[in-house]
Amino acid sequence: MSMKRLGRYGVLLVTFLLIGACSAEPISQGHTPSALNPHGVGAARIAELWWVMFGFGIAIFLLVAGLLFAALLRGRRGTNTTMPDSTAGDTGRNWPIFGGIALPLVVIGIVFGYSIYTLAGIENPQSIAPVKIEIVGRRWWWEVKYPDQGITTANEIHIPVGVPVQVQLQTADVIHSFWVPELHGKMDLIPTRINNLTLQANETGVYRGQCAEFCGLQHAHMGFMVVVQSKDDFNKWLDVQQQPAAEPADPAAVQGQQVFMNAGCVFCHTVKGIDDKDIDRSSVDLGPDLTHLASRLTIAGASLTKNRGNLAGWIVDPQHVKPGSLMPEMYLNSQDLQNLLAYLETLH
Ligand code: CUA
């Protein structure tokens, strides 16, 4: 290999390594969510159905493979005789009737029946949900509202453990699909419609959710988090979320609040408690409510962990993280950026 070519491969390798180092770490909370690792009532029933189908699939595969093997052995034995056994010809006629019609009807009938039974169980939960959440799918993030408590948040749903939660799903633009593999099956968000789903988690923890219907450029970065808490922790969270944002005390944060008002953030993002009476948001594409941004685990549709560095990168160059997203680049000098970050970090 010539030195020139070697050099070229070297440059390529270094480039790949650099690109690899730049890529944002996926936020999976230590594992990839699997529908076969259920932590919710709905997901458990779906996983059960999956195993039943898998069991039938394996049984039929073994049956077909066994018959094929038997036929091969029989064929080989047959070569030793000079003539085929003419009287045995009729028994072969039953095979297509049994294997081609009767058996598939029975198997498909059982699987179909079991699917309907599972679906009915998931769609009609036994008890009335005491907690209600409204979710609006937007390109490419999730608006989350608790109508009874007057809370609006984004990309993060908190629910109490062991309690059914009614989730109302709507979309502001195109079709999305709400999916928390470890808690429940998918449910589409369809324009002009409201779809309902009942989430019930068996264990506290953080479960990742994902948009499961292709909805444009940033479909893959339309994630969210479901935080399942004890009843006490959930009530505490509700109390905090109901409060408006506290007035900043730190001088940098006070300056940062001015940057938030003057740089244009306030035109798309609400912070409850801020003086935004004169802001008309009727003609803009709404951005996430930031009242309690600092209490969240992630930003940008769960594509980045929430920390100061990621927040800064997202504000300065959102089109690098999520090309095509509606968040515009903010041209801030470094002092304004630091002040703005200081302010955003006060939004607990
Ligand atoms: Cu929203 Cu895919």
- Look at the alpha carbons of 29, 34, 36, 39 in this order and tell me if their dihedral is positive or negative: positive
Counting beta carbons within 10 angstroms of the beta carbon of residue 201, is it exposed (0 to 12), middle (13 to 18) or buried (19 or more)? Answer: buried
DSSP reduced 3-state for 92: helix
Any idea what the Cα angle at residue 312 is, between residues 294 and 33, rounded to 5°? Answer: 60
DSSP reduced 3-state for 185: coil
Question: Whose CA is closest to atom 1 on ligand 1?
Answer: 176
The atom of ligand 1 lying closest to the CA of 176 is: 1
The answer, yes or no, to whether residue 76 has pLDDT greater than 80, is no
- Please state, in angstroms and rounded to a whole number, the distance separating the CA atoms of residues 218 and 320: 12
Query: Is the N-terminal amide bond of 50 cis, ω within 30° of 0?
Result: no
The pLDDT score that the predictor gives to residue 81 is 55
The pocket around ligand 1, CB under 6 angstroms, is made up of 137, 140, 176, 211, 213-215, 219, 222
Confidence grade of residue 329 (pLDDT, cut at 50, 70, 90): confident
The answer, yes or no, to whether residue 307 has pLDDT greater than 80, is yes
The atom of ligand 1 lying closest to the CA of 189 is: 1
The pLDDT score that the predictor gives to residue 18 is 44
